[in-house]
């Protein structure tokens, strides 16, 4: 048996599945009640919840490694160092017409916990109206009122005396997933490694930006995760544990106690290649198992499901697996010689992602930002502080403050009306929901080929805005009939003129904010070298033309990696893939539980929504097994 770190986690398919040669001998089949494909954000939640019932057996299959003992993924601020590493699938989009033919890198987690193990850890329940929109789109039972108990069930929020206005009764306090206010500035957490005058210096710039938000007309919101709505500027909460380490869905839900359950098998380094079906004359095809392998050329194994196969492979691989298994547009499948099991044209379609405007940089006065950590001595001290005290900048969110705003907010309109001629349509999920998120990092950096590259020798703030409600809609299509060939990812960023118009407004707002007090006084406007790097931030906003800004956005926009809806939920099999109980239309024994099943894009950060969806799905599955 191939063992990894914990005896409960296996990595050799022979230990949990049957060789393909045994397929005709049912007595030799390895069978489970539930097979979960993908040990990512949703998959770990489901494995943990379904195996609570000791009378059912659960197999969780993950293509990547175990999270156990993986040190770099536990350091919150180091998450960008995980890009293009062994725990990143490292996808690339097709050349994007709306972005001057650029291809962009899409990181996704290849490890237990999936993308929750490599993400930026922002905990966000998004806008309550997002889920009421889901209901309107046909996802009956997924309104905010329906979903809220599952947000609470998952969360273990750590109340903080520093944030007394957060109402604890609006949070979960007993769930497995730890959420915390970021601790880098908490005096209670200072330690031996806090050299006097050293630790607190980046706080002023972030506080100053929040004060500036109020000054320009964006009110402070004490808790953007409350049912009272998400609009406003805020200090974000992180999926970070009491020790200053990442809390992923794997660390939260696959604890040592859960892994000891005799009815749960967790397999890593094992890739599901396709879903197996049984056909009968008078019934829908039934998913009865999966085929697994360790590499393109190694032997194939099969595991069989008495109950259900549940796809949790994420927004890219869930549709890819459906397609290679024969579920998708029959025309497309036939072109690749794939036998059609069910014609479902929406598989891989309706893809939505969040794009940012690109980095708007401002030089600051010296030594009030995190740029100092580029110096080796400061970097080492920060690391030791995280290691021994679980605090300091490495225990923090990179984006620990942000603002959720509307592009039609009349209090803000003067900032874009001064010179813009663009109009925007309301694409929000409701009158109290945002369509832009402004955020900022207390350091200067750029992106080179998908990797974050700090700018050494200067001090500054990097701002950007995310387009939360894009109209541009993309797709994921097969490159071949093999799961080992990455699919074609075409998000079609900025193909809608409305999206780029919202981006222009957001960029103008950022440029105006920087010129408002008190932030203006902390910025260094004197230097003129390297004007491209600081453009458009270094230019008087009233002199920025819409055309120049649009060109800059198309050249510099980057996604923030929130793709959803490629196997979306709904009632109509022509426009959706799964029904409101997450069952694939027209197939028995097959569900999808991950971000691909979102009916529409949320106006915020999706990870908490994926976890709440998985919590609700576990209950739906338990109820349907008992009927």
- Nearest position to ligand FAD, beta carbon: 40
Shortest separation between residue 271's beta carbon and ligand FAD, angstroms = 4
Instruction: Please tell me the distance from the alpha carbon of residue 66 to that of residue 46, in angstroms, as a whole number.
Output: 17
DSSP letter at 351 equals B
C-alpha distances (whole Å) from 122 to each of 115, 180, 203, 401, 487 are 12, 10, 18, 10, 28
Instruction: Please tell me the distance from the alpha carbon of residue 479 to that of residue 561, in angstroms, as a whole number.
Output: 21
Our CB check for ligand FAD shows the closer of 109 and 285 to be: 109
Shortest separation between residue 597's beta carbon and ligand FAD, angstroms = 8
Shortest separation between residue 84's beta carbon and ligand FAD, angstroms = 11
Instruction: For residue 257, give every residue at least 6 positions away whose Cβ sits within 8 Å of its Cβ, in sequence order, or none.
Output: none
Our CB check for ligand FAD shows the closer of 126 and 216 to be: 126
Q: How far apart are the first and last CA of the chain?
A: 37
Cβ atoms 440, 276 nearer than 8 A = no
The tokens 């069989």 sit on which residue?
A: 304
C-alpha distances (whole Å) from 549 to each of 38, 552, 554 are 41, 5, 9
Shortest separation between residue 151's beta carbon and ligand FAD, angstroms = 12
Shortest separation between residue 1's beta carbon and ligand FAD, angstroms = 19
Cβ atoms 588, 626 nearer than 8 A = no
- In this structure, the number of other CB atoms found within 10 A of the CB of residue 295 comes to 9
Closest by CA to 563, choosing from 605, 529, 593, is 605
The tokens 């691989």 sit on which residue?
A: 317
Which residues does residue 292 pair with via DSSP β-bridges, in sequence order?
Answer: 272, 301
Name the 3-class secondary structure at 329.
Answer: coil
Shortest separation between residue 329's beta carbon and ligand FAD, angstroms = 21
Our CB check for ligand FAD shows the closer of 43 and 599 to be: 43
Name the 3-class secondary structure at 279.
Answer: strand
- Count each helix (H run) and each strand (E run) in the chain, helices first: 15, 28
Cβ atoms 361, 143 nearer than 8 A = no
DSSP 213-278: HHHHT--B-S-TTSTT---EEEEPEESB-TTS-B--HHHHHS-HHHHT-TTEEEE-S-EEEEEEEE
Binding residues vs ligand FAD (CB under 6 A): 37-43, 61-64, 107-110, 114-116, 118-122, 124, 271-272, 312-315, 317, 483, 561-562, 594-595, 605-608, 610
Our CB check for ligand FAD shows the closer of 316 and 461 to be: 316
Our CB check for ligand FAD shows the closer of 4 and 41 to be: 41
Q: Tell how strand 177-181 and strand 283-293 pair up.
A: unpaired
Name the 3-class secondary structure at 614.
Answer: helix
Our CB check for ligand FAD shows the closer of 309 and 610 to be: 610
In 546-606, which ranges are continuous DSSP H helix? 546-556
Backbone angles phi, psi at 257, to 5 degrees: -65, -40
Our CB check for ligand FAD shows the closer of 444 and 611 to be: 611
Cβ atoms 8, 250 nearer than 8 A = no
Shortest separation between residue 362's beta carbon and ligand FAD, angstroms = 23
Instruction: Please tell me the distance from the alpha carbon of residue 239 to that of residue 247, in angstroms, as a whole number.
Output: 5
Our CB check for ligand FAD shows the closer of 538 and 601 to be: 601
Our CB check for ligand FAD shows the closer of 61 and 514 to be: 61
Shortest separation between residue 117's beta carbon and ligand FAD, angstroms = 8
Our CB check for ligand FAD shows the closer of 272 and 322 to be: 272
Our CB check for ligand FAD shows the closer of 397 and 424 to be: 397
DSSP 65-132: B-STT--GGG-GGGGGGGTTSTTB--EEPPPBGGGTTB--EE--B-BTTGGGGTS--EE----HHHHH
Our CB check for ligand FAD shows the closer of 237 and 523 to be: 237
Residues forming the active site: 562
Instruction: Please tell me the distance from the alpha carbon of residue 525 to that of residue 507, in angstroms, as a whole number.
Output: 18
* Cα R_g (the chain), whole angstroms: 24
The tokens 């603002």 sit on which residue?
A: 403
Cβ atoms 172, 157 nearer than 8 A = yes
């Amino acid at each position: 048996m191939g063992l990894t770190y914990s005896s409960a986690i296996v990595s050799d398919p022979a230990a949990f599945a049957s060789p393909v040669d045994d397929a005709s001998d049912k007595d030799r089949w390895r069978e489970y009640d539930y097979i979960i494909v993908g040990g990512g954000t949703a998959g770990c939640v489901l494995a943990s919840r379904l195996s609570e019932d000791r009378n059912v057996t659960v197999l969780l299959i993950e293509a990547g490694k175990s999270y156990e003992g993986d040190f770099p993924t536990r350091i919150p601020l180091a998450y960008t160092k995980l890009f293009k590493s062994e725990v990143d699938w490292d996808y690339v989009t097709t050349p994007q017409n709306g972005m001057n033919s650029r291809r962009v890198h899409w990181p996704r987690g290849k490890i237990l916990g999936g993308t929750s193990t490599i993400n930026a850890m922002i905990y966000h329940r998004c806008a309550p109206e997002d889920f009421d929109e889901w209901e309107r789109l046909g996802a009956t039972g997924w309104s905010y009122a329906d979903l809220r108990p599952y947000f609470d069930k998952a969360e273990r929020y750590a109340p903080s005396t520093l944030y007394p206005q957060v109402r604890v009764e609006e949070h979960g306090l007993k769930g497995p997933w730890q959420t915390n206010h970021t601790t880098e500035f908490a005096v209670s957490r200072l330690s031996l490694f806090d050299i006097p005058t050293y630790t607190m210096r980046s706080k002023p710039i972030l506080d100053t930006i929040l004060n500036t938000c109020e000054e320009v007309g964006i009110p402070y919101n004490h808790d953007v995760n409350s049912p009272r709505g998400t609009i406003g500027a805020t200090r974000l909460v992180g999926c970070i544990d009491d020790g200053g380490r990442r809390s992923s869905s794997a660390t939260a839900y696959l604890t040592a106690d859960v892994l000891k359950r005799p009815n749960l098998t967790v397999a890593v380094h094992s890739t599901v290649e396709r879903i197996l079906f049984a056909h009968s004359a008078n019934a829908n095809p039934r998913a009865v198992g999966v085929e697994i392998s360790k590499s393109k050329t190694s032997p194939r194994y099969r595991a069989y499901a008495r109950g259900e196969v549940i796809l949790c492979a994420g927004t890219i691989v869930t549709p890819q697996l459906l397609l290679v298994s024969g579920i998708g547009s029959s025309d497309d499948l036939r072109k690749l010689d794939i036998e059609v099991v069910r014609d479902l044209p929406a598989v891989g379609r309706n893809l939505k992602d969040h794009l940012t405007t690109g980095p708007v940089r401002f030089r600051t006065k010296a030594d009030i930002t995190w740029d100092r950590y580029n110096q080796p001595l400061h970097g080492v001290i920060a690391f030791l502080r995280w290691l021994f005290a679980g605090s300091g900048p490495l225990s923090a969110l990179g984006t620990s403050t942000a603002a959720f705003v509307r592009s039609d907010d009349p209090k803000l309109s003067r900032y874009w009306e001064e010179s813009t001629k663009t109009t925007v349509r309301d694409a929000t999920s409701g009158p109290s929901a945002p369509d832009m998120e402004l955020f900022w990092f207390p350091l200067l950096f750029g992106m080179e080929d998908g990797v974050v590259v700090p700018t050494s020798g200067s001090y500054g703030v990097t701002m950007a805005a995310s387009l939360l409600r894009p109209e541009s809609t993309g797709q994921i299509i097969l490159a071949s009939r093999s799961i080992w060939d990455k699919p074609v990812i075409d998000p079609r960023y900025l193909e809608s003129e409305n999206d780029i118009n919202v981006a222009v407004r957001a960029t103008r707002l950022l440029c105006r904010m920087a010129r408002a007090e008190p932030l203006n006084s902390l910025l260094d406007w004197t230097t003129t070298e390297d004007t491209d790097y600081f453009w458009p931030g270094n230019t008087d906003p009233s002199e920025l033309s819409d055309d120049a800004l649009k060109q800059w956005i198309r050249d510099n926009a980057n996604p923030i990696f929130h793709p959803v809806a490629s196997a979306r939920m709904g009632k109509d099999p022509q426009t959706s893939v799964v029904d409101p109980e997450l069952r694939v239309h027209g197939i028995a024994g097959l569900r999808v539980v991950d971000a691909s099943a979102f009916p529409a894009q949320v106006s915020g950060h999706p990870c908490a929504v994926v976890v709440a969806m998985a919590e609700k799905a576990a209950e739906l599955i338990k109820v349907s097994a008992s009927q």
